[in-house]
Amino acid sequence: MNGTRVGYARCSTDEQDVVVQTEQLTTLGVAPDRIYIDRGFSGTSRKNRAGLDQALAAVWNGSIFTVTKFDRFARNMTEACQILTDLAERGVQFGLGAAIHDWNDPFGRLFLQTLAMVAEFEANLIRLRTREGMAVAKRKGKLRGKQPKLPESAQRSIRSRYAEGGLSLADLAEEYSVGRSTIHRVIHGDPATSSLEEA
């Protein structure tokens, strides 16, 4: 069983994206029942990512934790390093596409740390551009009474995760790059009081 691949896939809102990842993992030799998936998550935080937790629990000494792209499993450098360290200590290899990287090797670690740093930079850049764009639109009055619309799949995920507890409106708003009033409307369906959440 050594060398067996366990796959992980994640998509934020685009269902087709996770289909592509799943097909790529299958091509890499991951059995369908060893592919774990998270839908509706940004990847910047591990909070409530059940698919990732299941994938990490499913690997063993000699197996290969496999993703198609680095930012699918982490876009936060601290978290990425923690996970990779844990995998290495358990004797689990890290597969990025068809390549296998050794976290215990100085050059392998440098390469993966660089990928983690780039992934975090890109995530921060996306959040910055989103906030700047919304600030400009708000100044122009384009966001008055109207917030960016979330896909129904994302709305269902938001309601479910909020009901489980542990996440605030602010946490969800940051993760989905929308205003807190948008999250409030998704959860409570009450636009009349949503302005209170923006204060």
**Cβ contact 34:5 at 8 Å:** yes
CA angle, residues 77, 81, 83, in degrees to nearest 5: 120
Question: What tens digit of pLDDT does each residue of 37-63 get?
Answer: 998 765 555 566 889 999 999 999 999
The CATH number, out of the four listed (3.20.20.10, 3.40.190.10, 3.40.50.1390, 3.40.50.720), of the domain defined by the range 5-116 = 3.40.50.1390
Report the pLDDT value the prediction gives residue 142, as an integer from 0 to 100.
63
Q: Pick the closest to residue 71 from 13, 125, 116 (CA basis).
A: 116
Mind listing the pLDDT tens digit of every residue in the chain (199 residues)? 568 999 999 887 667 788 999 999 999 999 999 999 998 765 555 566 889 999 999 999 999 999 999 988 887 889 899 999 999 999 999 999 999 999 999 999 999 999 999 988 887 787 787 777 777 777 776 655 555 568 888 888 888 888 877 788 888 887 887 888 888 888 887 543 333 333 3
pTM of the model: 0.62
Report the pLDDT value the prediction gives residue 80, as an integer from 0 to 100.
92
Can you give the residue ranges of every domain in the chain?
5-116, 145-198
